[in-house]
Amino acid sequence: MIDDILDRMTLEEQVSLLSGADFWTTVPVERLGVPKIKVTDGPNGARGAGSLVAGVNAACFPVAIALGATWNPQLVERMGVAIAGQAKSKGASVLLAPTVNIHRSGLNGRNFECYSEDPMLTAELAVAYIQGVQSQGIAATIKHFAGNESEIERQTMSSDIDERTLREIYLLPFERAVKKAGVMAVMSSYNRLNGIYTSEHPWLLTTVLREEWGFDGIVMSDWFGSHTTAATVNAGLDLEMPGPARDRGEKLVRAVRNGEVKPEAVRMAARRILTLLERVGAFEKAPDLSEHALDLPEDRALIRQLGAEGAVLLKNDGILPLQKAGLGHVAVIGPNAAEARVMGGGSAQIAAHYRISPLDGIREALSNANSIQYAAGCRNNRLVNVFSGEMRVEYFTGRNWSGSPIAVETADVGEFFWFDLPSAELDPSDFSARMTAFYVPAESGEHIFGMTNAGLAKLYVDGRLVVNGFDGWTRGDNYFGTANVEQRQSIHLVAGQRYEVVVEYCALGSTGEGINLTAVRFGVEKPLGDADMAEAVETARAADVALLFVGRDGQWDTEGLDLPNMRLPGRQEELIEKVAAVNANTVVVLQTGGPIEMPWLGRVKAVLQMWYPGQELGHAVADVLFGDVEPGGRLPQTFPKQLSDNSAMTGDETVYPGRDGHVRYAEGVFVGYRHHDTRGVEPLFPFGFGLGYTRFSWSNAKASAVQMGSEGLTVSVDITNIGDRRGSELVQLYVRPLAPTVERPDKELRAFAKVQLAPGETGTASLVLGPRDLSYFDEKTKAFRASAGRYELLAAANAADIRSNVTIELAKEWIGEASDRAI
């Protein structure tokens, strides 16, 4: 059928398939029965075609680092199945997920969107996610291919990575997704790889991806991430997104007729697009692109289970789990207590069905006689709290708010990110909007108004210009680098008085600087000060236990900018110190998208890392704190004692954050625990670390053979739950070459198994290894290579806790082939 369609297509029609129709859909060819399909952002939900901050509600699942902390591929596969259902509810056939870039620096703004610092753990979870999604007839899109481990100058930065490091660390998850999961789509990254944009990188897209790995799906650009016509097509980029065409269309037709692109290259790319449509069933039944909310009880239950499964108990001096019956006064404190920080920022955002805050979850769990008192203590938001309340939004043609509005609508949140405008008469590059609302402060005093805008905007309070985002506007660090730095101004407001707030916004039009977006966000808040800190301390002093919820939110952990450091923002460290000084039973619950420094660690009784676990946050937190379920998580990323202990933080700006458009991955394969173990840098918490509520005994590891053969071998460890609660234990298997012929990490994760056991129950962790698990990538022979000799297999609870080992031998050197599918 596909050959018949291609034979009947004109060159122009084939070319039309190679660009999007708009932001989210492909181009149909109606005369030949080729339908359009829709794609939707992931990876922790399916947003549909709505804006980043609005649209049809969707189920909000845990972010990727929280999934990495589960070390549970079976559960992640179930999530993939559920998210495929969410994608269908948004009329989408393609999900833009998973993200498998590696945790390199600890400061990447999208660290939360990625699974782990380890490529093997990343690969196993990505394969499970993809298999779940694609089992439901939805195509998964693995991203970002490749070398996108920072948000700094991400649209132009060259990630300079040697081939061994690429093959062993950064490409492995993509390789396994192709060979093991049969992923249907790959998204190229924004950055350059060794000087060449990945969207036009022949070695990456054709030599490695298609010829070596055998990938037969489509490669699409990240949004606005392609830059040329002939170079992208010739390199193997099939789909330019979003549409309408920028560098394809008539430009590509001319390139074919001028001999810059062979007609066969266009036909092959069009074939791959048509094959994708066939694989997702679009020819059998044209997709219904309409959207609706899908709020299923089984999704709610799965999100709650995943939240607890990924919760990592980092410290516990016997205080957890809390006994509900014995609790009297409970202090719930901190900026993340009453706010439900359920997801990170950027393109991963969705309009969640609901958000359960920790305070809500604890109140529900302690609904009997327990006394709960709340105090925020301080704030941790990067941007001023967004405006909340009913407002009138008027849209005008042109940029001067003149004439009658073309469209009028209402909104209840002061953030607008326009992919689509409410009327076809409005030109996205030449329109204006006026938002009118009223604000009634609860308290008198200084209030801060803040605004950031991709475009030009002014904010007025009772007719007075308060925030000027118009004059002197320049690009800054918001909305993927398309909006200015947030402009702030404080004014005195009187409690109970009604103030008119008006924001006038106009589009900037194309600037020729990469991505151009239209967005505005404005807010108001009364700053918290010493009195609020003192209130929190007094609340803690009077309580039997102080539950302190701190961390970051999606304004910090977000696409478009890296973190400034690895410390808790604002006055949160001071809050922890002061609360712990007056209450010996202080439990810190963290929500961050990656590691943080903990100078206060020795002063608190327990630390629980919850990440951003989705809409059931409060329920999952309460489940773990009160022992209804086990904290099942183990760290997917090393927590260093200080930022300078990270392998990328050498003090050389060419290594991080980059200089003159290049960032050197000078640490090579020594990323995360590979660096800490090999270089003798003691971490705060090692890779794979996590505590539970029960105890286990381990048998010594046993190998099924003393020699590694081509068929591989199995290592088994018997685990017995010797405690009085049901719980899980994670067995990690590392490989250590005893006489390496090249510099290699001290040990590398090659397999893992999570065992769930009732009290007194014994189970067996079976871990399978093959010859490639002993190998490194040899740049001279361009192949994975394992030298003959002895290897130690280490059964470990985490990278710093080796429980037993067994030595095996590889009798003769093993050399893999690029096309070898036994990975």
Q: What pLDDT sits at residue 822?
A: 42
| Whether residue 73 is found in the same domain as residue 172 | yes
User: C-alpha distances in angstroms, 778 versus 164, 219, 486, 523?
Assistant: 7, 27, 48, 55
Indicate the pLDDT class of residue 510, thresholds 50, 70 and 90: low
How is residue 606 written in tokens?
Answer: 């327990």
Tell me if 674 is assigned to some domain: no
| Whether residue 517 is found in the same domain as residue 536 | no
- pLDDT surpassing 50 at residue 516: yes
CATH number, domain at 265? Answer: 3.20.20.300
| Whether residue 376 is found in the same domain as residue 334 | yes
Indicate the pLDDT class of residue 820, thresholds 50, 70 and 90: low
- pLDDT surpassing 90 at residue 674: yes
Cβ atoms within 10 Å, residue 696: 21
Tell me if 648 is assigned to some domain: no
| Whether residue 576 is found in the same domain as residue 702 | no
pLDDT in tens, 483-503: 999 999 999 999 999 999 999
Q: What pLDDT sits at residue 276?
A: 98
Tell me if 683 is assigned to some domain: no
Tell me if 671 is assigned to some domain: no
| Whether residue 177 is found in the same domain as residue 41 | yes
Report how many domains make up the chain.
Answer: 4
| Whether residue 335 is found in the same domain as residue 392 | no
Indicate the pLDDT class of residue 326, thresholds 50, 70 and 90: confident
| Whether residue 374 is found in the same domain as residue 401 | no
Q: What pLDDT sits at residue 369?
A: 63
Tell me if 288 is assigned to some domain: no
Q: What pLDDT sits at residue 821?
A: 41
| Whether residue 255 is found in the same domain as residue 396 | no
CATH number, domain at 614? Answer: 3.40.50.1700
Where is the domain boundary, 509, 525, 541? 525
Which of the 8 DSSP states describes residue 240?
Answer: B
- pLDDT surpassing 90 at residue 50: no
Q: Which of 109, 24, 44, 51 is CA-nearest to residue 521?
A: 51
Torsion angle in degrees (nearest 10) through CA of 121, 126, 127, 128: 90
Residues with a known catalytic role = 222
CATH number, domain at 521? Answer: 2.60.120.260
Tell me if 480 is assigned to some domain: yes
Q: What pLDDT sits at residue 232?
A: 98
The DSSP element (H or E) to which 577 belongs, if any, is helix 572-582
Contact 575, 334 (CB under 8 A): yes
Q: Report the SS3 class of residue 281.
A: coil
| Whether residue 64 is found in the same domain as residue 175 | yes
Tell me if 660 is assigned to some domain: no
| Whether residue 714 is found in the same domain as residue 605 | no
Tell me if 293 is assigned to some domain: no
| Whether residue 514 is found in the same domain as residue 533 | no
Q: For the chain, how far is it from start to end, CA to CA, in angstroms? A: 34
Where is the domain boundary, 499, 525, 551? 525
Q: What pLDDT sits at residue 818?
A: 56
What's the mean pLDDT in 328-351? Answer: 95
| Whether residue 416 is found in the same domain as residue 358 | no
pLDDT in tens, 165-215: 999 999 999 999 999 999 999 999 999 999 999 999 999 999 999 999 999
**Domain encompassing residue 737:** 694-815
What's the mean pLDDT in 314-339? Answer: 95
CATH number, domain at 734? Answer: 2.60.40.10
Where is the domain boundary, 493, 525, 557? 525
Indicate the pLDDT class of residue 511, thresholds 50, 70 and 90: low
Contact 700, 802 (CB under 8 A): no
- pLDDT surpassing 90 at residue 514: no
